[in-house]
Amino acid sequence: MIKSRHESDAVRTVDAAKIEEAVRMILSAVGEDPNREGLLDTPSRVARMYEEIFAGLHRDPRAELSARFHVEHNEVVFVRDIPFYSMCEHHLLPFFGVAHVAYLPQDNVVTGLSKLARLVDTVAKRPQVQERMTNEIADVLYEELNPRGVMVVIDGEHLCMSMRGIQKPGSRTMTLAARGRYEEDVRLREEILRMLR
């Protein structure tokens, strides 16, 4: 096993008291009574939820790739349909879907398959836009594993499009990031896209 050059960050927590105060203010601002029975525990629930859904802010995504192995394999490693949930940084509404991550190992060095899912999870659990999320996953994988190529495809639905604004539920957004051989060779990209169909 090859050690990562990054140590895992200590997990910090959110400022729960500040979140609770803000939630009470929002409830009041929209015309609700934050002291109503059904809303009394809402501020603390939201604070606990934010600690969970924004946990990626306090973790280094590079640390997720710490497990490295030498194997007799230099062909594509492709993990598809990795579920993710994130929060749009423009409206603080969820967007969610699946990520597909492929890479071509170099020098027979691979990471654990679950580490790819952890990488997606860590990058998703922060205020995000899908375009940046796609590129961050590709960049971390390309820089940390030094593979011959990386390709990341994300298929997401955004509640900021589904339940507000244009109000088009079911609309899907696809983003793609390619590095190395996948950026240079259209045939290699097409191979991954064929496997997604």
Q: List, in sequence order, every residue forming a beta bridge with 94; answer none if it has no partner.
A: 87
Give the pLDDT of residue 12.
Answer: 57
Question: Which residue from 139, 158, 151 is spatially nearest to 187, judged by alpha carbons?
Answer: 151
Q: Is 89 a catalytic residue?
A: yes
Section 92-111 average pLDDT: 97
Q: Is 128 a catalytic residue?
A: no
Longest dimension (CA), the chain: 63
Q: Which of 6, 58, 160, 183 is catalytic?
A: 160
Are 54 and 73 a contacting pair, CB within 8 Å?
no
Is 91 annotated among the ligand-binding residues? yes
Q: Is 130 a catalytic residue?
A: yes
Residues 16-53: name the CATH superfamily. Answer: GTP cyclohydrolase I, N-terminal domain (1.10.286.10)
Question: Which residue from 91, 173, 92, 170 is spatially nearest to 130, judged by alpha carbons?
Answer: 173
Q: Which of 21, 73, 90, 131 is catalytic?
A: 90
Q: Is 90 a catalytic residue?
A: yes
Section 106-123 average pLDDT: 96
Q: Is 183 a catalytic residue?
A: no
The domain over range 61-196 is classified in CATH as 3.30.1130.10: yes
Q: Which of 20, 64, 130, 136 is catalytic?
A: 130
User: Over pLDDT 70: what percentage of the chain?
Assistant: 94
Q: Which of 6, 91, 183, 191 is catalytic?
A: 91
- Tell me what the pLDDT averaged over the chain comes to: 93
Q: Which of 88, 100, 128, 136 is catalytic?
A: 88
Is 160 annotated among the ligand-binding residues? yes
Sequence length of the chain is 197
Q: Is 73 a catalytic residue?
A: no
Tens digit of pLDDT for each residue in 150-194? 999 999 999 999 998 888 888 999 999 999 999 999 999 999 999
Give the pLDDT of residue 88.
Answer: 97
Helix (H) or strand (E) holding 67: none
For the chain, the domains span 16-53, 61-196
Give the pLDDT of residue 1.
Answer: 37
Give the pLDDT of residue 8.
Answer: 39
Q: Is 100 a catalytic residue?
A: no
